[in-house]
Amino acid sequence: MMDAIHHGSRGPPMPQSSDVEQLNDRHYVVLLIRALVDSQDHLLGGEVGGPEEYGGPERWVRFQEPSGLAEAVQAWLASRQ
């Protein structure tokens, strides 16, 4: 189970100096989920996407069913390159 991020959180704790070298090739991206849910809040499908870095246009990738969410995220990330 994933830890919840509470409002006002600034993300995970800063890495120790010995970990910095291992994190040089990692960075955060803004990724939004527009979810279609039924009356019982079951995920039916939706889109993942968001703004390009540095003010570019938004890009969205559609997914069907919860199982397609991870593939949509990977497709969105791959299209950034």
CA 32, 4, 71, 37 torsion: positive or negative?
Answer: negative
Number of structural domains, the chain? 1
Residue 11 lies in a domain: no
**pTM greater than the 0.75 cutoff:** no
Residue 50 lies in a domain: yes
Residue 54 lies in a domain: yes
In terms of residue numbers, what domain contains 58? 28-79
Residue 45 lies in a domain: yes
Q: What is the pLDDT of residues 14-53, one digit of tens each?
A: 655 555 566 677 888 888 999 999 999 999 999 999 877 7
Predicted local distance difference test score (pLDDT) of residue 23: 66
Residue 73 lies in a domain: yes
Average the pLDDT over 48-73 and give the result. Answer: 88
Residue 14 lies in a domain: no
Residue 42 lies in a domain: yes
Residue 22 lies in a domain: no
- d(CA 81, CA 27) in angstroms, rounded, equals 14
- d(CA 24, CA 17) in angstroms, rounded, equals 12
